[in-house]
């Protein structure tokens, strides 16, 4: 799908924490779209830059496959899928281009409140539930610890109570979800925030100029914010 195009396509989250700030950032860069509330494809008006509204988890793959040129996605999701691709011998095919300063959260280990946390060695032989198996496996390897990774796509926080895992590795933002499930955060694996992701390869058509302009404008907007 590396076909030549004269319009840029940016994937953003359809709904969820990153959806509104992603749109606001792109608007501040001077982009506008023909408004169509429920449409998943928004045709760019001010510039030939279209939006695709998707599940955040699909964004890295859309860029890797060349379906989209850029995406606004959490570093957690981007790194996880890069790790998963790497573990089966695929190249990353996309990269983090800019950190965007919103959607901040941490990928953390969290244990039942009654645990006394003494450090990573304590994880030897445990079962850890997560939606981030690649990042977790890599980290465990770096720590020299053997633990089993229980992959769940959601509601990870319930696993210790169900007895399917001893602890979890999940995103923590306010900490409310952990507290509600009698878990406490003990170790950070990744500091995450929304990022602009783009392809590793250079554009060889009209998109090159468009992409350069978009990045220039984004740098201006990001500079104003800090």
Q: Which residues of this protein are in contact with ligand PRP, per CB under 6 A? A: 17, 154, 170-177
C-beta of 19 vs 215, nearer to ligand PRP: 19
Task: Rule CB under 5 A: choose which of 47, 57, 84, 221 binds Zn ion.
Answer: 57
Least separation in angstroms between residue 201's CB and ligand PRP is 29
Quick check: 170 binds Zn ion (CB under 5 A)?
no
Three-state helix/strand/coil letters over the chain: CCCCCCCEEEEEECCCCCHHHHHHHHHHCCCCECCCCCCCEECECCCCEEEEEECHHHHHHHHHCCCCCEEEEEHHHHHHHHHHHHHCCCCCCEEEEEECCCCCEEEEEEEECCCCCCCHHHHCCCEEEECCHHHHHHHHHHHCCCCEEEECCCCHHHHHHHCCCCEEEEEECCCHHHHHCCEEEEEEEEEECEEEEEECCCCCCCHHHHHHHHHHHHHHHHHHHC
C-beta of 80 vs 170, nearer to ligand PRP: 170
C-beta of 109 vs 172, nearer to ligand PRP: 172
When CB distances are held under 5 to 8 angstroms depending on the partner's kind, the choice from Zn ion, ligand PRP, none that residue 154 binds is ligand PRP
Scanning residues 84 to 123, which ones bind Zn ion (CB under 5 A)? none
Least separation in angstroms between residue 179's CB and ligand PRP is 8
Least separation in angstroms between residue 106's CB and ligand PRP is 9
When CB distances are held under 5 to 8 angstroms depending on the partner's kind, the choice from Zn ion, ligand PRP, none that residue 175 binds is ligand PRP
When CB distances are held under 5 to 8 angstroms depending on the partner's kind, the choice from Zn ion, ligand PRP, none that residue 32 binds is none
When CB distances are held under 5 to 8 angstroms depending on the partner's kind, the choice from ligand PRP, Zn ion, none that residue 57 binds is Zn ion
Query: Taking the alpha carbons of 77, 151, 64, 138 in that order, is the dihedral positive or negative?
Result: positive
Least separation in angstroms between residue 171's CB and ligand PRP is 4
Give the side-chain half-sphere CA count within 13 A for 53. Answer: 18
When CB distances are held under 5 to 8 angstroms depending on the partner's kind, the choice from Zn ion, ligand PRP, none that residue 66 binds is none
Q: Which residues here bind Zn ion, judged by CB under 5 A?
A: 56-57
């Amino acid at each position: 799908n590396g076909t030549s195009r004269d319009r840029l396509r940016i994937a953003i989250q359809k709904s969820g924490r990153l959806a509104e700030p992603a749109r606001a950032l792109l608007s501040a860069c001077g982009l506008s779209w023909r408004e169509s509330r429920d449409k998943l494809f928004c045709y760019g008006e001010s510039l030939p830059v279209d939006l695709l509204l998707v599940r955040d988890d699909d964004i890295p793959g859309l860029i890797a496959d060349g379906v989209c040129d850029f995406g606004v996605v959490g570093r957690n999701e981007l790194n996880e899928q890069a790790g998963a691709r790497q573990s089966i011998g695929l190249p990353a095919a996309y990269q983090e281009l800019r950190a965007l300063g919103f959607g901040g959260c941490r990928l953390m280990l969290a244990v039942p409140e009654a645990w006394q946390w003494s450090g990573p060695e304590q994880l030897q032989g445990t079962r850890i539930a997560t939606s981030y198996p690649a990042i977790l496996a890599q980290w465990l390897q770096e720590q020299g610890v053997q633990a089993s990774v229980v992959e769940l796509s959601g509601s990870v926080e319930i696993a210790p109570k169900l007895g399917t895992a001893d602890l979890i590795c999940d995103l923590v933002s306010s900490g409310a979800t952990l507290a509600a499930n009698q878990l406490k955060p003990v170790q950070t694996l990744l500091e995450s925030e929304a990022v602009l992701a783009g392809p590793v390869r250079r554009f060889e058509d009209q998109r090159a100029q468009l992409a350069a302009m978009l990045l220039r404008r984004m740098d201006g907007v990001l500079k104003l914010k800090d």
